[in-house]
Amino acid sequence: MQFLNNKQIIFLVYFLAFSKFDKHFLNMKENFTFKTSQNNNLQISAYLPQKDFNNKCLIYAHGFKGFKDWGFVPYAAEYFSGLGYLVLTFNFSHNGIGTNPLEFTELEKFSQNTISLEVSELLQLINAVKENNINLDFQISKIGLIGHSRGGGVSILAASQNKNVNALVTWSAVSKLDRFTERQKEEWKTKGYMEVKNTRTNQVYRMNYSYLADILKNKNGLLSLKSAAEKLDIPWLIIHGKNDLTVKIDEAEELFEWSGKNKTKFIVIPDTGHTFGAQHPFTGPGKAFKIVLRETEKFFAQNM
């Protein structure tokens, strides 16, 4: 006879107590830290399944100047946990977010970030989930990735290298990591850093030249999105806003062109941009983001 552990008993009590109410009353979230092999900490939010657990986990990867508690991310995580998934959102260790989950306070770490570091961290998290090494009592049979913007590119790279990923969804994903003019790159190399402004917070961040050097060194190898997209042999859903000014629709078309057409679906959402109408602080999902959620839900249901 198999007995319930404490965590499952607590979940059962909550479910029985609140099941007659709106599913958002069932929200159960655990925050914890995962230490990587590089001795960096990933701050993780685990959204526990709010109905019969389907033994599947979705991992969300944020983009440049993004974080796990930005805008639509918690809402989306609750949405999918309400469908029976274990959902993990996390901050890459050098994304600039520290102990305050909503403020960029670790700007020195931000300056030292690289794409290779982010890919490595996502790969380690995927393996930890599959091997049940994240201190959550859930046995995972299948893993799906959701990546937004640069996090979409990182997710493509990770999925192409890790057989534990069963399906991939990218929202507004980049098709190129070298997004800089020759003049910018020369100035960057000379100064040793580039400055970028966060228009939401008005903070100015530095990116060390090591970020660009990593991309240039590996652009034809482990950081080639073209090679990764061509290598992918799992179901992949590409969703992009037609009016995206941050990552133009051309990049989504390029990713689709590189993909295996028998396993890839490409959806263009009209009259919306990079975040599908969402903003931070989050004010609720608009029509475009509701489409994103429904199409993503349908895709995972059919392909995992």
Q: Is residue 210 in a domain?
A: no
Query: Domains in the chain: how many in total?
Result: 1
pLDDT tens, residue by residue, 252-285: 999 999 999 999 999 999 999 999 999 999 999 9
Residue 6 confidence (pLDDT): 57
Give every CB contact of residue 6 below 8 A, 6+ residues apart in sequence: none
Q: Is residue 69 in a domain?
A: yes
Nearest Cα neighbor of 154 from 193, 113, 185 is 113
pLDDT tens, residue by residue, 154-210: 999 999 999 999 999 999 999 999 999 999 999 999 999 999 999 999 999 999 999
Q: Is residue 78 in a domain?
A: yes
Residue with structure tokens 């893993």? 143
Q: Is residue 92 in a domain?
A: yes
DSSP one-letter string for 101-160: TTSB--HHHHHT--HHHHHHHHHHHHHHHHTT-SS-----SEEEEEEETHHHHHHHHHHH
pLDDT tens, residue by residue, 4-51: 555 554 444 444 443 433 343 345 899 999 999 999 999 999 999 988
Tokens (6 digits) for 25: 């009353």
Q: Is residue 181 in a domain?
A: no
Q: How, if at all, do strands 29-35 and 142-148 pair?
A: unpaired
- pLDDT band of 96, cuts 50, 70, 90: very high
Q: Is residue 194 in a domain?
A: no
The pTM score is: 0.91
pLDDT tens, residue by residue, 230-250: 999 999 999 999 999 999 999
Q: Is residue 189 in a domain?
A: no
Q: Which domain holds residue 21?
A: 6-175+232-303
- pLDDT band of 135, cuts 50, 70, 90: confident
Domain CATH number, residue 264: 3.40.50.1820
Q: Is residue 71 in a domain?
A: yes
% the chain with pLDDT above 90: 87
